[in-house]
Structure 1
Amino acid sequence: MSTTSHLLDDIRNVNLSYLLLVQRLLNEDRTSAMFRLKISEQMADTLVSLPISQLAKLANSNQLLCHFSLTDATQLASLTSDQREDDLKRTHAAILLAGGSFEHEEETVGGEQQYGR
Structure 2
Amino acid sequence: MSETSLTNEVEELNLTYLLLAQRMLQTDRASAMFRLKIDDEMAELLLSLSGAQLARLARTNQLLCRFAYDDAEQLRTVTHPPREHNLSGFHSSVIMASHSHLGTATNES
TM-score with structure 2 length normalisation?
Answer: 0.88
Alignment of 1:1-117 (within 5 A): 3-101=2-100, 104-105=101-102
The runs of at least 4 consecutive aligned structure 1 residues that moved more than 6 Å come to none
Identity over aligned residues, as a percent? 46
- The CA distance in 2 between the partners of 1:86 and 1:19, in whole Å, is 32
TM-score with structure 1 length normalisation?
Answer: 0.83
Look up the equivalent residue of 2:3 and give its one-letter code: T
- The CA distance in 1 between the partners of 2:10 and 2:99, in whole Å, is 24
* Structure 1: tracts of 5 or more residues without a match: 108-117
- The CA distance in 2 between the partners of 1:5 and 1:84, in whole Å, is 44
- The CA distance in 1 between the partners of 2:15 and 2:41, in whole Å, is 20
* Structure 2: tracts of 5 or more residues without a match: 105-109
Following TM superposition, by how much is the alpha carbon of 1:86 offset from its aligned partner in structure 2, in angstroms? Answer: 4.2
- The CA distance in 2 between the partners of 1:84 and 1:68, in whole Å, is 25
Count, aligned residues: 104
